[in-house]
Structure formats: C-alpha cells, structure tokens
Structure 1
Amino acid sequence: MSELPFAATTPVSVSRVGLKARDAEGLAAYYRAVVGLQELSRADGVITLGAANRPLLVLEPDAAAKPDDPRSAGLFHTAFLLPSRADLGRWINHAAANRIAIEGASDHLVSEALYMTDPEGNGIEIYADRSPQDWKWDGDKIAMATERLNLPAVVASVLAGDAGWQGAPENTIVGHVHLRVGRPEDAEAYWHDEFGFDTVAKYGGQAVFLSSGGYHHHIGANAWRSAGAGRRDPARSGLAWVEMRSDNVAGETSSEDPWGTVIRTIRGKA
C-alpha cells in the first residue's frame, strides 16, 4: 500500500470539495468513470464520492442552477493527488484506452499533471508529486514551471504485468484546490489571515500559490480570466465549498473568502 501523500500530513490540508451540480447523477457517473472515484454515500440527492472510504468530492444537486461562468470567481480546478508516479502512469493508460479527452499535460518540476474539464465546466487535475526532497527552494519560494510532460516516462513507471488502473487507489487525496479570484492579493491576504498559509510562489500579479507545512501549494488563486470579479452568484453551478482539515481548530468552523466562497474547516487527521 502506498503512503499517504506529504500534502495531507501538513498542519492544514484540503479535505473535500463540494460542487453544486445541475445534473448530479451525470457528474457522479463522470467522476466514477474518468477519475475512478467510488460512490460512498447519498442522501437527499447529495452524492459523496471518494477513494477507499475517504470522502473527496460532494455533489449537491440543483437542476435550476445557471451554468458556471468561467470569468467569475469560483473553481479553476480540483486537483486529485495520486500516491505514486506509477498510479499516474496507470491512469494515463486508462485515459488512452477509454479515449478520455485530455486538455493539458504538464511537468511542474514539483509534480507531473494532466488536466481535463467535467461536463459542467469544472476543471480537474490528476497528478503525482515528485519527492519533496527533489523540490528546489530559493529561500521561502519554490521553483515551479509548466513544461511538456514526458508521458512515455510516466507510463514506463508501470511495471510489465501490472494489473493496471483499478480506480482511484487508497490514499488518493485532494492535494490542492486552484481558485478563480478577482484579485490574487486579496486571496493571499485571506489565506494568510484565516489559515496562516505561506506564500510559496507568485506569477506577477496574476496568480499566487500558498501552502501549509512546506508543501508546494494547497491553494492556488488566479485572475487569468476572472480579473476584477466580484462575489459569486449563488444561483450558478460550480464550486459550492472547500473543506480544509486543520490541526489548529477545536471543532468545525466556516468562513467566506472575499468572493463568497464558503471555506469550511474541520479538525482531525487526514
């Protein structure tokens, strides 16, 4: 069994993501087939998906919701972190065999990642981290980039005779959440003040990456398409809430970021 990824062992980490879904059944089928999540429970139409009994994604049905607006504040992508590079190789083979549409494949130096969009416009990243010992730091800032992913090398990490992709493996987690925001500097202030996050990278005034405990990022926030965006329209589908796990709270808490996105916090181990 793979170890729990480093991203989940820090003082604060991502626990779950909630999406408001126009077609919760359709989205659930997509995440089962494409990401390999399992349905863990359902109640009053709300569907919880995860990996090996770890809840990762909650779909809240709202058939009357307006489609998400990619120029507004909201979700850029939910990033599902697989425990090993071989797991990522297995998923790539699964994507190829099932003709899953991939929109991007990148080497970020700290990680290797593939990108897609679900049927309701929610971004998805499937990735595996390189060993934290191999990450390059310049003081308190980490070196990240967007280079072409060497797909054959990742696939080659899967040994001959391997059983192949069997769905999201145990210890798959939501490694990070990347948000669309109106002003990255306001997001930076919120995550500093509410969670004590460190700023580990910036891309001019367009994007900021923040983390707890020396991870490369638990939260990304960009204004690439959403510059100047105000509060989210609660009548739209897309991101409903993000749940963080923290060692620093006594119980469950909730707050809103500057764009009205609900950020929940729970205490407990990953």
Structure 2
Amino acid sequence: MPVTRRHILTLAGVTTAAAALPGALAAEGITDTTPTKATLPFALTTPIHCGEVAIRVRHLDNMVAYYRAVLGLAELSSTKDGATLGVAGTPLLHLITTPDAKIEPVTSAGLYHVAYLMPNRAELARWLVHIAMTKVPVSGFADHNVSEAVYLMDPEGNGIEVYSDRPRENWQWNEGVVTMGSEPLDIDGILALADTKKDTFTAAPDLLRIGHMHLKVGDLQKGDAFYVAAAGLVHTRKGREDAAFLSSGGYHHHVAMNMWHSKGAGARRSGQTGLAWFSLAVSDHETLEAQRSRFEAAGFAPKAIADGRGFEVTDPWGTGLRLVPV
C-alpha cells in the first residue's frame, strides 16, 4: 500500500498537518532543491558551521540501533566507551556510554535538538516514506519558510530535527533579520518526490550533515556573551525574549537558544545523560585564533583538544563547544 499523508500524520497521533504544529512550535518556536552535482548544502559552506555532536547515553546498543535504523547513519567505529556514527566516512554523532547516568530533566539546560540537514527535498521525501513504513513515532511537522522540518525524539529523550532547506534565494531578509515561521508542512508536495510504494531509504545520503544545533539555556544574555561575543556568531532573529537564532555567513541559523523550559537553569549536573559537546568548524586560521583570544579574554579558559585540532571551551551551563579547523 502506498504511503499517504494520512500515514505520515498518524505517526504524530494527529489527522491534520495543522494539528501537528504544536509539536513543531515547541521544537522551533517559530520547490524541489535536488542539486545537479554532489555539493554540500549552503549551511556547511559558511565561515563557521556545525560539525559533530557527542551525547551521553545509558543504553549504547539500543541508541546505535535507533540511529542506524531511523536516520540511516553508519557505525564508523566503536569501543567499550562508545560509538561514532556518520555518513560516507564523515563522523557526525558520538555516543558516549554512561550506563549509570540519570536521564537529564527537561528543565535542565543542554540539548533541545540536533538538526540533521538533508541535502535536498527529495531526500527528505525518501526519508518520510521510510519512517512511515517503519512506523517511527514523530512529534511534529512544520514549514519554517526557510526550511521544511520533521521532529522526533530518540529513545532517551534527545530531540531530533530532520529537515531540508528551501532555496536560499527565496529566503526573505530585512535588515539582517530572516523571516521564519511555523506553518503546516506540505506533506503531499514532499511525498510527490518519492516512490511511496516502497522504502528506498536504506542509508542516509552521503551529504547528510548537522545543519544546526538547538540548545536550552538559562539566560539569553549569558548565551550571547558566549556564542555571539566570543564565538563570533550573529543574530538572525532579533527582539525575542525567549529565544535567539544565530548564524554565520548568511545562513538562517547554525545555533539556536531558548528558555522555554529552562529559564534560570544553572550549571548542568554531572553524571546525567544528554549533550556532552558539539563542534563548530571554522574555515580559516585567523578566525579560529580570534575566537580563542576572545574566549580567553572573557575567562572561558580554552583547552586544546586531544587530537591537536582546535580547542574546547565550556559554555555557562556545562556544555562543551569545540572550535575546529575545517
């Protein structure tokens, strides 16, 4: 039986795309792009962009199985301490074994979701058919004007977004502010790009990457001091008191911060699951050294990464940020 819009919506326990919006609104607060050649999405070509993410997990085997089955990631390496997953030899997700850890509470600072960027809308369509046929629960869908997104949770409560960007020439900017909203997703239009009679998503596309990171923070001003003043990202959605969206090079956002559940949160407790660190790749040595100098001046104490590439700093809530050369 072909996958239909109704099958997709049923995964979120709703019957209309509008009814799925609450999950998308909570997840974000807010033309077919199939490339003619194998090029990275725009989000990965800016001077600063997302790289990898590391998450502390309790049940390693279960989590590896989930990310392989749902997102199609390949297991690139594994030890008794964890596993690294990615695509075509490119590492994206590190799962760190912490079997005795407690699940981090929703009100803690830390991870809101990791956003995996499909290289084009057709790949998002193939993945939608895949999750429908394998009956993977989702928590929301949304058209954000600049992108089309699906939200879900992994087995230990870590948020996931899977999305594709609309052509950036169609994004609307006004004095450095990009238009982003949350409208019902055109599921029919997306499904029209895929074979809805069979699951052809056997592995993640080679150009799947982490497009952005969405964080929970306790205070936006402290977040600004770390991610804007020191890391060098810029605001793309100004004037909000509950959330901020930051980017490099004209992308809609590489890092988002919100206080929807975590306002006033202090340092995260050790010995809990959740986000350990994520990386931002930096395109030139001068920018990387300028970042290091700003973090030092602000008292964030950069430390060299073990492999000798770049440095790591800890944000005000205990999340590691790695700045690494491209």
Q: Decide: shared fold, TM above 0.5.
A: yes
Aligned residues: 268
The residue number in structure 1 matching 2:115 is: 79
Q: Which of residues 55, 58, 63 in structure 2 aligns to 1:19?
A: 55
The residue number in structure 2 matching 1:228 is: 264
Q: 1:160 to 1:179 in 2, by over 3 A?
A: closer
The residue number in structure 1 matching 2:137 is: 101
> Aligned AA for 1:179?
L
* SS of equivalent to 1:245: strand
Report which stretch shifted further, 192-201 or 70-79: 192-201
2:317 is the alignment partner of 1:259? yes
2:317 is the alignment partner of 1:249? no
The residue number in structure 2 matching 1:45 is: 81
Cα separation, 1, equivalents of 2:225 and 2:172: 25
Per-residue Cα deviation, 1:242-268 (whole angstroms, up to 9, x for no partner): 111112226411111111111011112
Larger RCO, structure (CA 8 Å, separation 6 or more): 1
Q: Which of residues 274, 279, 283 in structure 2 aligns to 1:238?
A: 274
* SS of equivalent to 1:148: coil
Q: Which of residues 83, 95, 102 in structure 2 aligns to 1:59?
A: 95
TM superposition shift of 1:162: 8.9
TM-score by length of 1: 0.95
Cα separation, 1, equivalents of 2:265 and 2:232: 24
Q: 1:203 to 1:237 in 2, by over 3 A?
A: farther
Cα separation, 1, equivalents of 2:232 and 2:131: 37
Contact 2:116 2:160 in 1 (8 A): yes
The residue number in structure 2 matching 1:214 is: 250
The residue number in structure 1 matching 2:105 is: 69
* SS of equivalent to 1:40: strand
- The percent identity for this pair of structures is 41
Cα separation, 1, equivalents of 2:178 and 2:77: 38
Q: Which entry has the higher C-alpha Rg, 1 or 2?
A: 2
* SS of equivalent to 2:70: helix
RMSD: 1.6
More strand, by proportion: 1
Contact 1:2 1:83 in 2 (8 A): no
Q: Which of residues 164, 169, 176 in structure 2 aligns to 1:128?
A: 164
More helix, by proportion: 2
The runs of 5 or more residues in structure 2 that have no matched partner are 1-36, 290-308
Cα separation, 2, equivalents of 1:113 and 1:230: 30
The residue number in structure 2 matching 1:185 is: 221
Cα separation, 1, equivalents of 2:242 and 2:189: 32
Report which stretch shifted further, 204-213 or 35-44: 35-44
Contact 2:236 2:245 in 1 (8 A): yes
Q: 1:227 to 1:131 in 2, by over 3 A?
A: same
TM-score by length of 2: 0.79
* SS of equivalent to 1:242: strand
